[in-house]
Amino acid sequence: MNLLIKSATIIDPSSPFHKQENDILIENGCIKKISKKIKNPNNLKEIKLDNLHISQGWFDTSVSFGEPGFEERETIKNGLETAAKSGFTKVAVNPNTYPVADNKSAIEFIKNKANNTATSLFPIGCLTKNAESKDLAELFDMQNSGAIAFGDYNNPIVNANLLKIALQYAQNFDALILSFPQDNSIAGYGLANEHINSTKLGLKGIPSLAEEMQVARDLFILEYTNGKLHIPTISTAKSVKLIKEAKNKGLNVSCSVAAHHLVLTDDELASFDGNTKVLPPLRTAKDVKALIKGINDGVIDMITSDHNPIDIEHKKVEYNNAKFGTIGMESLFGSLNKVIPLETLVTCLTTNPRNRFNIENSFINEGEKANITLFNPDFEYEFSLNNIYSTSKNSIFLNKKLNGKVYGIISNNKIVL
């Protein structure tokens, strides 16, 4: 692939060309030259776009596709095309398939479905067999087959001793353990954040305590084992405080937050729209403020879409019966672009998650592989069904004003615009 990108503002704090507007010459999938003006004597394909900005390719650390087992929600092929159009050159795919991805054959199946695609797929394997929190899955075998981390998506590790053993065992091959932050004995059959809105609307609540108890427990176990832990999609102010204290102690812990938890509050519940039913649930304005501060202070390491396609039969139903989850790749950038400083947002989508999940970095510099996301940070629009590429349409951001347009990606010697 040979092409010339014209007049692009580079957003990459690790690049010597950061914040500069340059032309970028790409030859055979690598960045050959970066300069103010590059001539095009060979009539290469040129990319000229309004207010073009580029960064390292974005990495989403929590994506669900469904295949195998739930192809009606999303196939791997369409999921990766959606990721590419949404600006993601790499995605980590959750194991919540049917059957769940808890063995090397399942990991190899998922990886083989993603051959020769612009967006690279990295499977996350189940931590426990059948995601039942009873016995450890085949972690070492799965890692040898391509799994980059281990966790039971949206299922907490109920057995504290099992988490302890996992953190100890995983040190033998430097594996990253994920633990979903919810104590089900407190959350029970809750549907939404336990607060004024859930009480007004008569919805059974999930207290913030359910998350914070689990985070505190996991951090105690982490301190005991000296392991390597990632806590996905935290949602409360107290969780940010607990993780900050753990990092100050020197514990090897990281965490992520879902885009919708940085923008929306439980005021959304008033519509009784099943698309607002997510896990963890939408919290209060105080929590949103604390999460944004956690991002800006570096306590929260990365931002994810927590993309979880759910078919209409399981979403357009009574709130009690709707499944948890929202799609989010298509709306992530537009929803956060004016909420989080652009440099910080890019870092939380590139360098930070790649370093934590041990994925190769490709910077915007001469001699590097072309692994690039192209976008316009000044483009306001209303997010509608026309903006959704996923098979499922369960977006929490439907009909909301977003600001920021993704043009596409250049990755794996391919271009998707």
Task: Note the pLDDT of residue 270.
Answer: 95
Is residue 397 predicted with pLDDT exceeding 90?
Answer: yes
Q: Is the pLDDT of residue 41 over 90?
A: no
**Which backbone phi and psi does 341 adopt, to 5 degrees?**
-55, 140
Q: For residue 382, what pLDDT band results from cuts at 50, 70 and 90?
A: very high
Dihedral of the CA atoms 346, 349, 352, 356 (nearest 10)?
-170
Q: Does 99 sit behind a cis peptide bond, omega within 30 degrees of 0 on the bond before it?
A: yes
Q: Please, what's the b/e burial string for 178-197 (b: 16 or more CB within 10 A of its CB; e: otherwise)?
A: bbbbbbbebbeebbbbbbeb
pLDDT at 39: 93
Q: Is the pLDDT of residue 96 over 90?
A: yes
CB atoms within 10 A of CB 101: 27
CA dist., res. 212 & res. 283, Å (int): 13
Q: 42: pLDDT confidence band, cut at 50, 70 and 90?
A: confident
Nearest CA to 366 among 10, 7, 98? 10
Q: How confident is the model at residue 45 (pLDDT cuts 50, 70, 90)?
A: very high
The pLDDT > 90 percentage for the chain reads: 99
d(CA 191, CA 195): 12
Q: How far apart are CA 47 and CA 344, in angstroms?
A: 26
CA distances 164 to 26, 220, 306, Å, are 47, 10, 26
What's the CA dihedral at 269, 270, 273, 278 to 10 degrees?
Answer: 0
| pLDDT mean over 70-75 | 97
- The percent of residues above 70 in pLDDT, for the chain, comes to 100
Q: Maximum distance among all alpha carbons in the chain?
A: 68
Residue 157's pLDDT is what?
A: 97
Q: How far is CA 325 from the centre of its chain?
A: 13
Q: What is the pLDDT of residue 417?
A: 94
Which pLDDT band holds residue 348 (cuts at 50, 70, 90)? very high
Give the start-end residues of each E strand in 118-186.
120-125, 149-150, 177-178
Measured distance CA(94)–CA(123) in Å, rounded: 7
Question: Which residues belong to the active site?
Answer: 306
Give residue 361's pLDDT.
87
pLDDT averaged over every residue in the chain? 97
Cα(215)–Cα(160) distance, integer angstroms: 12
Q: Are 390 and 327 in contact (CB under 8 A)?
A: yes
Task: Please state the φ and ψ torsions of residue 260, each to the nearest 5 degrees.
Answer: -65, -25
CB 359 within 8 A of CB 59: yes
Task: List residues bridging with 402 in a β-sheet.
Answer: 381
CA-to-CA dists, residue 204 to 191, 193, 279, 282, 290, angstroms: 6, 8, 14, 14, 24
- Classified as helix, coil or strand, 402 is strand
pLDDT tens digit sequence for 165-221: 999 999 999 999 999 999 999 999 999 999 999 999 999 999 999 999 999 999 999
Q: What is the mean pLDDT of residues 123-135?
A: 97
The span from the CA of 409 to the CA of 54, in Å, is 9
Domain architecture of the chain: domains with CATH: 3-53+366-416 (2.30.40.10), 57-356 (3.20.20.140)
pTM exceeds cut of 0.85: yes
